[in-house]
Structure 1
Amino acid sequence: MGKKIAVVVTDHFEDSEYMEPVQSFKEKGHTITTIEMEKDKTVKGKQEQSEVVIDAGIDDVSPEDFDALFIPGGFSPDLLRADKRFVLFAKAFMDAKKPVLAICHGPQLLITAETLQGRDVTGYKSIHVDLKNAGGHLHDKEVVVCQNQLVTSRQPEDIPAFVEESLRILG
């Protein structure tokens, strides 16, 4: 049976880092719910190749409603981490040991949620120092899986490995 995956996303997400994993998750029978500040808003990728209509506003969902969290990269995670509601939402998944899938700049939300202490992690090269400062054990490789829960990758080129490990964790 497919898992219910929450996807926190806003404008300026990295197009391929949203579109490719979401397509793969859906093909495997998982349900995707996009979450932003407001329902029915259309957000645009930073390459302007993709538009996503938001399924739910952050105030209308609870981490308990979902089996996993996906955080695509781009500038979106940096914008979302300025909103405490998204930080607490992400923290709840980490605290509950539910699968968290974060690519490129996605781990920025987890840094702000202060959930990376002692975790094996990777991310885009510009946030490597931030990941280390957050207490994470940085590994500069295409995909890092920590405690069979947290899946992180660095950049669009890592999407195939990211999707493969994410699907494995999702079961």
Structure 2
Amino acid sequence: MNKFRFLNPTKMVHPNNGMTLEFLDKQDAIAALIISNDGKKGYFVSQFRPGTNNISTEVVAGLIDPGELPKEALYREVEEESGFFKEDYEIIFQDDKALAISPGYTTEKLNLFILKIKDNGIKQKPLNLDEDEELIGEWLDLDTALSKSSDFKTYYLIRIYELLRLKKNEA
């Protein structure tokens, strides 16, 4: 089998029953829902994904490089994929801990963030995509994004944002 760039197929023996378990050893990642200043739209990227063999609409996301902290990866990925810099937004939600994506299948944990653009006058800078990245970004209302996306992290972050808005309105 060819060497993988991002995935490390691995086996281990179950500590109790001796069964051989197969899983992917994979870097942790970040995902960020970027919300417009008025709170009505989100910034989403569309790109081809092999797991669905289709174009997927998702929040900004990316791998955490070795030695990099999750917030450092957040700032880097948001700048690369959206054209916004850390001065352009505030972090309005950050999970207390990284969450396992699929614990029976991969070691990857995901650090989740919701960002809000600080003011309407902030302009996006040109994207700074990695050499092999091919994505298109767009602002969508959240209902449209939910109907277009089948991506778990995108769905989850939109729902968290909606709950935050409800909680704020109830206060």
When the two structures are superposed, what TM-score results if normalisation uses the length of structure 1? 0.24
Higher helix share: 1
Bigger radius of gyration among the two: 2
